[in-house]
Structure 1
Amino acid sequence: MSERRAAPTVLQISLGRRLRDLREVAGLSAAQAGERIRVAQSTVTRLEGARTSLNYTTVKALLELYGVTGSEARDFLTLVDKANESGWWQGYSDVLPGRFGVYVSLESAASQIRSYEPQVVPGLLQTPAYCEAVIRLGFPRESDESVRRRVALRLQRQNVLNRPDGAPFLWAVVDETAVRRPAGSRAVMAEQIERLMQTADLPNVALQVHPFAAGLHRGAFGPFTLFRFPIPDFPDIACVDSLRGTAYRDESAEVELYRSTFEHLMTGALARRRTKGFLEALRKEYLR
């Protein structure tokens, strides 16, 4: 029986999709595939949906059923072992909800991250003090130890931007509200603005502020992130936050809606050089 995971890795999601495609090409339903290899239909669908670890024996039986043999089967099974390796974030399972665990997995595997934040500075760009202020607001009943763990998780996520083996390109559009609304003291905000200016100088980071003067825009409904991956035929994924939680979308029409919205926001935001000048002026305001 396959084991549950705290959150799937992107490779696990990709292999699950591939299993589904192979089954459909073979002309079999999930129920028929399960019956042929003597497992429940739910086992097949859970494997395909990355809702459980990829059991080596079960995957091998499915590949044989679908007519996948030789080097193609061996390569697939090699990837199964790799996909089941635990991500670093699973060490924070005590403070990492399952749905957000998926987000961290996507973030860690992406080659490009496009993020829009209307209310707070993006997590990948937060200072420890700003991060703690945001977390204490969002989790007012958490113990100091739990807050410390949540801060540590967010700070470790930031390591992805400095990863030597292919750091992703981050393009962040931040509403002016996010940098003007204080989180903590004025000193905390001044430090946070300084961090934004420093991070914007990284070759793999583009930062734009969307000013009040630009007026109402299509991003007013809430924050979202678009992930792109260095995996052939793997779709972009949109992550959307709301009061109901985090939702993930990979349908082409929905992803295109968020992609076009992000381009709209980029057009209305200050250019990267003007953003840096805006942030420098704002930092001086906080230091007064």
Structure 2
Amino acid sequence: MTDALPSGSSAPTVLRIILGKRLKELRERSGLRLDGAAKALRVNHLTIRRMENAQVGLKVPYVKELLRLYGVSDAEVAEFIGMAERANRPGWWYPFRDALPDWFRAYVSLETDAEVIRVYEPHYVTGLLQTRDYARAVIGAGFPNDDEESLEHRVDLRVRRQELLEREDAPTLWVVLEETALRREVGSPAVMSAQLDRLLEVSELPNVTLRIVPLSAGPHPGTGGHVTYFRFAERELQDIVYTEVGLTSAVYLDQRPDVVTHLEALTRVSLLAAEHVPDPRTYMSNLRKEFDK
């Protein structure tokens, strides 16, 4: 995995990504090249590469044969196979797969399993904090050709994603919003008032930090566009950065120079927001009054 994660209906779970990386490490430790492992299975070397990069499911017979080829003990093989079977199970989002663009499916998987999520959002309130009415208006603008049933299906998915904030093992969520995202009227003044109420409510959660960058703050490193940073409890999996490219694609970065550059930008923008708006709750309360007029 260098500049993108696999997408499509088989968007990988974090466990599958980790097991793929372990397969690669075991192969390299055994001294085998991709073509050598492929020859033992009588498959194309691309099959091995795709398994290691979590681009396909982990076929248990293939995994067993590879682990034995790599000199793994029977006990370790049994443990690995058990994890592979769990990793191959569809994620909770599978029933919503038709509502997810291919390039966004991996995002939902990563979001579900992340320990820390940091978001910079210049245009709208980030999806994890949207009310249902706000989400409907935003999604409707993005998918203008959807019928009512399809639109509600997408909205259901967005609302369902938000359940992770209430989990016992909820991730730490750190969100930086541009002032524009809060002043852009989405839906109606009433929708915006309810959205600001939601932000005031969620900002009281112990695992959520919300910052606001006012227009008066001027240019800053985040103005390139939306960025999400994921960190995981499983230390075998490095940090991942998601950033959108135009209207129909995105990239997932995990190379250290890329991740560090984006993380430093997120930190600078967060500090800038705290300097200019030290009390986001008061700011949002005042803004809410403007929509109530």
Give the shorter-chain TM-score range: over 0.9
Q: Does 1:30 align with 2:34?
A: yes
Matching residue of 1:20: 24
Q: Residue type matched to 1:151 in 2? A: V
Unaligned 5+ runs, structure 2: 1-7
Secondary structure at 1:283 match in 2: helix
Tell me how many residue pairs correspond in the alignment.
284
- Alpha-carbon shift at residue 32 of structure 1 (Å): 1.3
C-alpha contact (below 8 Å) 1:136/1:147 kept by paired residues:
yes
- Among the aligned pairs, what percent are the same residue? 42
8 Å contact kept, 1:5–1:52: no
Give the Cα separation in 1 of the matches to 2:273 and 2:112: 27
Match of 2:103 in 1: 99
Alignment of 1:203-282 (within 5 A): 203-243=206-246, 244-270=248-274, 274-282=279-287
Q: 1:197 — aligned with what?
A: 200
Of the candidates 126, 145, 149, which is equivalent to residue 149 of structure 2?
Answer: 145
Counterpart residue number, 2:3: none
Letter in 2 for 1:31: D
* Deviation per residue, 1:139-171 (Å, 9 max, x gap): 11111111000000000000010012x110100
Measure, in 2, the Cα distance between the counterparts of 1:287 and 1:246. Answer: 37
Among 185, 190, 193, the residue aligned to 2:188: 185
Alignment correspondent of 1:287: 292
Question: Where does structure 1 lack aligned partners over 5 or more consecutive residues?
Answer: none
Instruction: Output the CA distance in 2 between the equivalents of 1:6 and 1:53.
Output: 7
Shift of 1:93: 1.3
8 Å contact kept, 1:120–1:179: yes
1:134 deviates by: 0.3
Deviation of 1:68 after TM superposition, in Å, equals: 1.2
3-state SS of the aligned residue for 1:53?
coil
| 1:39 to partner: Cα distance | 2.0
Q: Which moved more, 1:73-82 or 1:186-195?
A: 73-82
1:101 and 1:30 mapped to 2: Cα distance? 28
Equivalent residue for 1:174? 177
SS at match of 1:246: strand
- After superposition, the C-alpha distances for 1:102-123 in whole angstroms (9 at most, x for unaligned) are 0000000001100100001000
Q: CA RMSD in A?
A: 1.3
Q: Is residue 167 of structure 2 the alignment partner of residue 163 of structure 1?
A: yes
More displaced 10-residue stretch of structure 1: 89-98 or 272-281: 272-281
d(CA) in 2 for partners of 1:44, 1:87: 23
State the Cα distance separating 1:273 from its structure 2 match. Answer: 5.7
The CA distance in 2 between the partners of 1:56 and 1:280, in whole Å, is 55
Secondary structure of the residue aligned to 1:269 is helix
Q: Does the CA-based 8 Å contact 1:7-1:90 persist in structure 2? A: no
Whichever residue aligns with residue 132 of structure 1, its letter is R
After TM superposition, list the pairs within 5 Å mapping 1:49-60 onto structure 2: 49-60=53-64
Structure 1 residue matching 2:196: 3-state secondary structure: helix
Q: Greater shift after overlay, 236-245 or 278-287?
A: 236-245
- For residue 10 of structure 1, report the CA deviation from its aligned partner: 0.8
Distance 1:98 1:161, change over 3 A: same
Q: TM-score normalised to the size of structure 1?
A: 0.96
How far off its partner does 1:99 sit?
A: 2.0
Opposite residue 222 of structure 2, the aligned amino acid is: G
Shift, 1:27, TM fit: 1.9
State the Cα deviation string for residues 69-108 of structure 1 (Å, max 9, x = none): 1332222111111111111101111111222110000000
Give SS of 2:32's match: coil
Do the aligned residues in 2 keep the contact of 1:197 with 1:276 (CA within 8 Å)? yes
